[in-house]
Amino acid sequence: MKYHRIPVGPFATNCVLVEDPETHDGIIVDPGGDGTTIVDRIDTLGIHPVQIVLTHGHMDHCLDTSNLAVQYGVPVAMHAEDLPMYQNLAKQVEALMGPAAAAAFIPDKMVEPTVFLEGGHEVTFGKTTAKVIHLPGHTPGGIGLLFSDEIPVLVCGDTIFRDGVGRTDLWGGSWETLLESINEKVFALPDDTLLVSGHGAETTVGREKQHFPY
């Protein structure tokens, strides 16, 4: 697989375009804003999007989901436990950024997710397959996408960052559950597994295990 990390939106969220190198089919992970920038990169790379996947339901990972789903005619996938969060995007934006931002960012008609992913499911596009790992803690329905290439890659949303972890003081967060997800699922992967997080630069499982303070 090939991936392309694009910081977008008001919180510099990593939108990740994952591409099958043979067919150029791809998925859009966490389109959190700047839809025009995402479309321009898709066009430049020649990717054919077949699905949008949300690692969780926080607004900074979902803001341009509906616009892109309509533009490309593709389904939206996420874990069912974060669906209520997605359905309340306007309230999330208003709480964090004010009513004017909610009016500006939220489309009149939102596209509802129709594919609900659970741990152990697979996401396939072209000849590329990712295993879904349920990573609750930051949100109840947080997920990661594990690509078992020569060097494994985990697109892990806001579960873990380079030198940090996702916050748990927002809707549905649990510190104990987050640590369980990290210790039992993320840190169970090979040390050379590349972590592509929801914000910031890439890191590896081995690096984060070595520096983990919790």
In this prediction, residue 205 carries a pLDDT of 98
Position 104 confidence tier, pLDDT thresholds 50, 70, 90:
confident
In this prediction, residue 10 carries a pLDDT of 87
In this prediction, residue 31 carries a pLDDT of 97
Spell out the residues 6+ positions from residue 88 whose beta carbon is closer than 8 angstroms to its own. none
Full residue range of the structural domain in which residue 104 is found = 2-211
Pairing of strands 25-29, 143-147: unpaired
Instruction: Return d(Cα 205, Cα 208) in angstroms, integer.
Output: 5
Spell out the residues 6+ positions from residue 1 whose beta carbon is closer than 8 angstroms to its own. 18, 19, 20, 21, 128, 130, 147, 149, 153
> 60 vs 98, which has greater pLDDT?
60
Residue 102 in this model has a pLDDT that exceeds 80: no
Beta bridge partners of 8: 13
pLDDT tens readout for residues 49-77: 999 999 999 999 999 999 999 999 999 99
> Is the CB of residue 145 less than 8 Å from the CB of residue 53?
yes
On the CB side of 4, CA atoms within 13 Å amount to 22
In this prediction, residue 101 carries a pLDDT of 79
Residue 105 in this model has a pLDDT that exceeds 80: no
Position 194 confidence tier, pLDDT thresholds 50, 70, 90:
very high
Q: What is the DSSP letter of 112?
A: P
Residue 98 in this model has a pLDDT that exceeds 90: no
Instruction: Give me 91's structure tokens.
Output: 């309230």
Residue type, 183: N
Q: In total, how many domains does the chain have?
A: 1
Instruction: Give me the phi and psi of 69, to 5 degrees please.
Output: -60, -40
> Is the CB of residue 209 less than 8 Å from the CB of residue 192?
no
Instruction: Return d(Cα 199, Cα 14) in angstroms, integer.
Output: 5
pLDDT tens readout for residues 2-16: 999 999 998 999 999
pLDDT tens readout for residues 174-189: 999 999 999 999 999 9
Residue 27 in this model has a pLDDT that exceeds 90: yes
pTM of the full structure: 0.95
Task: Look up the CATH number of the domain holding residue 52.
Answer: 3.60.15.10
Position 34 confidence tier, pLDDT thresholds 50, 70, 90:
very high
Alpha helices in 61-204 (DSSP H): 65-72, 83-87, 89-97, 99-105, 175-181
Position 97 confidence tier, pLDDT thresholds 50, 70, 90:
confident
pLDDT tens readout for residues 112-165: 999 999 999 999 999 999 999 999 999 999 999 999 988 999 999 999 999 999
Report the chain's terminal Cα–Cα distance, integer Å: 32
Position 93 confidence tier, pLDDT thresholds 50, 70, 90:
confident
Instruction: Return d(Cα 100, Cα 8) in angstroms, integer.
Output: 19
Residue 169 backbone zone (phi > 0: left; psi -120 to 50: alpha; other: beta): alpha
